[in-house]
Amino acid sequence: MSALVPVLTALRRGVRATHWYLRELTGESAYERHCERHRRTHPGTEPPNRREFQRLRTRRQEGSAASRCC
């Protein structure tokens, strides 16, 4: 049993790292970062819900010339 502990620890670490990477890659964690920033800069107000955040984010990206390929 004691030989299995390092293997399970490494496996758990790998699963956590993969989960973090996929959340960053897909942008899933961007909303959580936005909510944290919103709470710090606008205390006492509710942050936009996830749908509103995605809508604002898309609108900002479409308006930016850097996000276009051509």
Joined tokens for residue 6: 């390092």
How confident is the model over 11-56, as pLDDT tens digits? 999 999 999 999 999 888 999 999 999 999 999 999 999 999 999 9
Domain ranges of the chain: 4-61
**Residue that is written with structure tokens 């800069």 in the block:** 41
70: pLDDT strictly greater than 80 = no
Residue 59 CA to residue 63 CA, distance in Å, equals 6
Does the pTM surpass 0.85? The reply is: no
- Residue 61 is predicted with a pLDDT of 83
- Residue 69 is predicted with a pLDDT of 64
Q: Are 40 and 48 in contact (CB under 8 A)?
A: no
70 residue type, one letter: C
- Residue 68 is predicted with a pLDDT of 59
Q: Are 34 and 53 in contact (CB under 8 A)?
A: yes
- Residue 66 is predicted with a pLDDT of 65
Residue 32 CA to residue 11 CA, distance in Å, equals 26
